[in-house]
Chain A
């Protein structure tokens, strides 16, 4: 419970730090490159393959039950937009980016660099978490868009070449509406905010030596992944109540 209160404290400090300013110059761009550009291939490959597998499985099941594959693409893009793209991107970033943030901040903590920051008149959250927070929110949205597009195209090509689905029918966007896009965007922003806060919090709690950094890294990956899953559930339920019919 105390840990959750401290985590909330880090989140509030991060928001306050965004308002305070005083971030190191160029750090946000550097973090955007580290979080976004360096995750691009990872996200593209992972979501591309998951898209192919999901469509493969879906088409097989549809073939077994009804044999009508005309609705596969239409339903797939709705799911990709409102859930799969942000959540899978969030999960992937929780492992790659979460581990990196916790390891970097954890190493700084155990080598007393965080204490040295405090002695220099700097709030560690402002310097270490705020730039990663801003970069992560922006790049999670970008990567979700990219990953979702790749997932959709990979799924469409699988449906076409393996099951003979017409590309025009698969790539029909007529049933996609702003509600799906809004829910997907809210999820991407929320995961992008949660991952650096949870991971940074774990890094700042690192103690001792390399063992402490290892603990922080593991805790960050588990914590960030759980946060994504939990937030997915909460936002999906909230989305259902708020957006209702538009999501159906």
Chain B
């Protein structure tokens, strides 16, 4: 895949000086980052550095301690739960654990956001859910429960559920973690197709270097609670920052400080 510039340069998401602490642990210190419309932006960094925390702020699953977050010209970090509903229609999230609801079939899982966000009746929502599952080649499993499926299948169904509202932005939290290489590359292709074919903006949190260096338009490297490096794949590859180089080369020793090691 080419390392071409992103389709458009207008920032659709802006993090401005965001800080977040959990108890004594300061996770984000002064994080500022723009996400451009239609791009695939990867947020990378070591475990516990605050990658997932960053994207969860955007949809109000976590609240900031300081700083501002803007989505499409509207400040979102100050919104209350009921006010977040329209934002959550436009921004979907694929969680790390798939997060399908165990007590529902796949079709019911996919139908839930249609019923709640779009007010669709159960019967119509289930028909629509089967159509969405068909798009990810999962329609034959529509009546199965999540526990009866493999990790890859659950991940695909979770993506179908997220895409069911046709969001403008999709946040992927480690979408390929725990998947075999074949399924991982299928997920990569799906993310790329969303951006290329439908103009969806994707923000992907990942450690998967194969994914990162094959489908990212830009990469943001987070270190010590802030963005340490930001650029295209080639720019990150060519970075002269030893911390960035240690991460992308997967070296166990180097200048990077990793708490707990």
Residues of A within 8 A of B (CB): 22, 24-25, 27, 30, 111-113, 115-123
Contact = CB atoms under 8 A, between A and B. Distances in A.
Contacts of A111: 97, 99
Interface string B97-118: 1011111100000001100110
A115 B97 CA distance: 11
Contacts of B88: 118-119, 121
Contacts of A123: 81
Contacts of A122: 112, 116
Contact of B56 (A22, A30, A115, A120): A115
Interface in B48-107: 56, 59, 61, 81, 85, 88-89, 92-93, 95-97, 99-104
20 contacts: A25-B122, A111-B99, A112-B96, A112-B97, A113-B101, A113-B102, A115-B93, A115-B99, A116-B93, A116-B99, A116-B100, A119-B59, A119-B61, A119-B92, A120-B112, A120-B113, A120-B116, A121-B116, A122-B112, A123-B81
Given A115-B95, A119-B88, A121-B85, 15 more contacts: A27-B103, A111-B97, A113-B97, A113-B99, A113-B101, A115-B93, A118-B81, A119-B92, A119-B93, A119-B113, A120-B113, A120-B161, A121-B89, A121-B116, A123-B81
Contacts of A120: 112-113, 116-117, 161
A118 B92 CA distance: 11
Contacts of B85: 121
A88 to B, nearest CB: 31
Interface string B156-167: 000001100000
The 10 A-B pairs with the shortest beta carbon distances in the complex, nearest first, are: A121-B116, A116-B99, A121-B117, A120-B113, A112-B95, A111-B97, A120-B112, A112-B99, A113-B99, A115-B61
A112 B100 CA distance: 9
Contacts of A22: 116
B235 to A, nearest CB: 32
Contacts of B95: 112, 115-116
Contacts, number: 51
Contacts of A117: 101
Contacts of A27: 103
Contact of A118 (B61, B96, B161, B162): B61
Contacts of B100: 116
A64 B162 CA distance: 73
A30 to B, nearest CB: 8
A98 B89 CA distance: 34
Interface string B205-242: 00000000000000000000000000000000000000
Contacts of A113: 97, 99, 101-102
A29 to B, nearest CB: 13
A211 B175 CA distance: 25
A25, A112, A119, A120 interface centre (most CB from chain B within 10 Å): A119
B89, B103, B122 interface centre (most CB from chain A within 10 Å): B103
A234 B189 CA distance: 62
Contacts of B59: 119
A115 B88 CA distance: 11
Nearest to B85: A121
B86 to A, nearest CB: 10
